[in-house]
Structure 1
Amino acid sequence: MWRLVEGYHAPVYFAPQAREEYAAAGLRGFWMGYVAGRSGPLGAVPPEVVTAMFYNFAAARIDRALPDAWSLGTPADAVAAHQRIADLRLRELLGDGVDDPALGEVAKALAEVVVGLDPAGRPLFAAHAALAIPDAPHLALWWATTALREFRGDGHVAALLTAGLDGCEANVLAVVAGQVPEQQREFRGWTEPEWEAAINRLRERGWLDADDALTDRGRQVRTDVEELTDRLAASVDRAVEAGFGVDRLLAALRPVVARTVEGVPFPNPIGLPE
């Protein structure tokens, strides 16, 4: 389910329209737009708060975007730009499928799930879930999948904390495991010294060997993190099953995401597998 939810949400990050739409909202460059657009539902919070919630981004990457973004535009402007990018890109990718009545059915089902979830301990989810649900079915579905991926993401942060992994270390392990591109350090804004220090810490714990490959213990840590992330997201599965039905939802999403995932490069920094 995560792969399908992420496959519908993710094209917004790789849309060719992004820079133009962010610029129209007064934001300078892609990264300022990304940070402001994703954190905008929280309001004009300081960069330290966003760094804490995003978790795997270096503080310097967030500091370059905030609070400057809030002197150039409002959080509402950034959120609106983010949604316009999603609208334009999804219309391109879905083609005539954007008018498929089944899209509205799935959007309604997932919106009901989002509204019914407990937001406790899930700040990014709570902020995105509190936004108004768009009228257009393809955007209502994007709103729901966005909220759900942040629900899972908030739980993933809790799992990383439980495992004693900081944001840089988590990225290092993802690169070593082949889950994300080799350029992940640059994508997430970590310096070379910060990256090397994280590698050294992982070696000292016995999670990486002398060749910087995962040890058995390192693989087990990653497995534990993913399994805990799944358990923390299990309320979504239960809610879907109680309403629309998991099998029915997956069957409905697969042909839709087969189109939208064409807008996602592989490999990608999100870790979505091809």
Structure 2
Amino acid sequence: MADGRARALWERYEPVHDLVYFAPEAHRAADALGLRGFWMGYFALRAAPLGAVSPSVVTSCFHVFHPSRVARALPDAWAYAAPADVLAARLEAMDAALTRVAGADAVGSAAFAQAADLAWEAAAAADTTGRVLAAANQALGRPERPAARLWQAVTTLREHRGDSHVAVLVGLGLGPVEAMVLKAAAGESDGAFLRETRKWPARDWAAAEERLRADGRLAADGSLTPAGAALRARTEALTDAAAERPWTALGAERTERLAALLEPLAHAVRESGLLPAANPVGLTRRTLPVGR
């Protein structure tokens, strides 16, 4: 979408979705289920819509994690909590977290209910062909409470965009480590943070850097060459294009209305201090237009 609408909406719904990783309500929910440690909670809470799938399926869907990182959490998590129980717990936790962060008055307002309904309509319109995480989330029932409904809707939209991004990376021949090296070189995230949290050995990271240097995408100092910057820009442009459908289905006027409604929620999450500075998705705050 030439006017940047898909990216502008992503900047507004991504922080709301990210509460599931960093809000204390999510951590307490994982602990109550018997899930052990941050990563078991992360993988179970995010993968639960898929059912009790194997580590290899999650490694494939999530794309950037070393298989050993996933295997330390799954399938053990499913022995502690069934996916259906995890789904119920995460929705309850996100309802509470969003209510706390945004404020009960805001969550109870007509504007918030409108945001939830618009986001749900956009998510329902997403084309989930070849997008496994998006399809699994889209198939979940419609929550009655507005905060839960909004969070689940933006999660479907987020996974739709994420699945699209993975498809773009695969199509461009970029593996998980190369993709992260390019992200870090573009200044969107910290390379050491990405490597360590995704559990890639230093030798694999160095090998990816060397391949990108040999291809003329990475300079000797670790910065992007013009060819590397062009590849990174193409990756993002193709991702934006693949994420257009929910917004074309919703229409320009209602998309702009949803963006305006999401803006204060996204701001509240950012100001809450819950999201780490080294955001792994590379979310940076830009002022992007929604309309023309």
TM-score by length of 1: 0.95
* d(CA) in 2 for partners of 1:189, 1:21: 25
User: Which residue matches 2:288?
Assistant: none
Q: What is the aligned length?
A: 273
Compare 49-58 and 112-121 and name the one that shifted more.
112-121
Instruction: Judge conservation of contact 2:126–2:157 (CA < 8 Å) in 1.
Output: no
User: Which residue matches 1:30?
Assistant: 38
User: Which residue matches 1:271?
Assistant: 282
Map 1:9-158 onto structure 2 (within 5 A): 9-95=17-103, 96-158=105-167
Q: Percent identity?
A: 44
Instruction: Judge conservation of contact 1:180–1:271 (CA < 8 Å) in 2.
Output: yes
User: Which residue matches 1:167?
Assistant: 176
Q: How far off its partner does 1:186 sit?
A: 1.1
**CA 233–193 in structure 1, closer or farther in 2 if over 3 Å, else same:** same
User: Which residue matches 1:224?
Assistant: 234
Map 1:168-187 onto structure 2 (within 5 A): 168-182=177-191, 183-187=193-197
Map 1:218-257 onto structure 2 (within 5 A): 218-241=228-251, 245-257=254-266
* d(CA) in 2 for partners of 1:29, 1:144: 27
* d(CA) in 1 for partners of 2:129, 2:158: 15
**CA 65–202 in structure 1, closer or farther in 2 if over 3 Å, else same:** same
* d(CA) in 2 for partners of 1:195, 1:82: 33
* d(CA) in 2 for partners of 1:174, 1:241: 31
User: Which residue matches 2:211?
Assistant: 201
Q: How far off its partner does 1:159 sit?
A: 0.8
Compare 225-234 and 79-88 and name the one that shifted more.
79-88
Instruction: Judge conservation of contact 2:92–2:148 (CA < 8 Å) in 1.
Output: no
* d(CA) in 2 for partners of 1:253, 1:108: 12
* d(CA) in 1 for partners of 2:204, 2:262: 40
User: Which residue matches 2:201?
Assistant: 191
Q: How far off its partner does 1:118 sit?
A: 2.5
* d(CA) in 2 for partners of 1:236, 1:125: 12
Flag structure 2 segments of 5+ consecutive residues without an equivalent. 1-8, 286-292
Flag structure 1 segments of 5+ consecutive residues without an equivalent. none
Q: How far off its partner does 1:18 sit?
A: 3.2
TM-score by length of 2: 0.89
Instruction: Judge conservation of contact 2:126–2:160 (CA < 8 Å) in 1.
Output: no
Superposition RMSD on alpha carbons, in Å? 1.5
* d(CA) in 1 for partners of 2:64, 2:117: 32
1:211 counterpart letter in structure 2: D
* d(CA) in 2 for partners of 1:5, 1:12: 13
2:89 counterpart letter in structure 1: A
* d(CA) in 2 for partners of 1:257, 1:65: 30
Instruction: Judge conservation of contact 1:122–1:154 (CA < 8 Å) in 2.
Output: yes
Q: How far off its partner does 1:81 sit?
A: 2.8
1:87 counterpart letter in structure 2: D
